[in-house]
Structure 1
Amino acid sequence: MAINLPSQRGRGRRAPMADINVTPLVDVMLVLLIIFMVTAPLLTAGVPVQLPDARAKAVEQDQKPVEISLDRAGKLYVDKDEVSEALLPDILSQLVAKGDPAKPPQVLLRADKGLDYGRVMRVMGELNRAGLNRVALVTVEQGSK
């Protein structure tokens, strides 16, 4: 960093300062980083479901999975769209037809912990019948509440 020393020539003139102050830029970038870190987890919530606890680790994914959710009232959602149980087999067969036949898409099944076990098993049976065997049951990690 250069220091401007007073010179005897041209006392009334100052040399232009060629240094750029990056401190305000760094401050703004850090604030934006904190904002994105705080808001990013809030953007992933889809259908409000109270998930059960488990000690399982997170599943690694190579492509965007299909989310199927069952809320406390028993409503069925594929991604964020509400569907009836009668239309579920057609929707699942369309998903299988769209994807790679050698590698069907992974399905994340989110079900409210207060639901009847039979209701969840009916949805899993439809998934199996459609050929979607890569099903992961989504839970809340213990201690993260």
Structure 2
Amino acid sequence: MPYRATARQYVGRPMSDLNITPLIDVMLVLLIMFILAIPIATHALQVPLPNGAPTNPIEETNVVHIDASDRLFWNGAEMDRQGLLNQLASAAEMDHQPVIRFDPDARASYATSARTIALIKDSGVDNFAFVGNDRYRNFDRVR
């Protein structure tokens, strides 16, 4: 006859099994509290993306100019930031990338110039040059 344990053998002995139900309850409550404590993302990062074909021809050497009124120009044709981004992205996708020359006016704002340089960098253009810096070597002549 096989040995069978009876209930009387376990009376008075401590239970050696771990009851994990309270542990699971506590972990679920902590998980819910962490979910509620995480702030909702209310800000958005605006990343400019090209959304069309270039409106002006892309030449072997192109000039991006900013005038004193902070207007953007591509080879003499005025355009907005999105149009400039489309031009730059199309130039960056070419097999032989053209040279992009950056030529801001001395009275152009620094913020517009910095944003335009960042736009050129983000477009993927590799052949980039600053031109006309020698004109502004002596700041007292620029007025």
TM-score, with normalisation over the residues of structure 2? 0.48
Quick check: which one's helix share is greater?
2
Find the structure with the greater CA-based Rg. Answer: 2
TM-score, with normalisation over the residues of structure 1? 0.48
Ranked by relative contact order (alpha carbons within 8 Å, sequence separation 6 or more), the top structure is 1
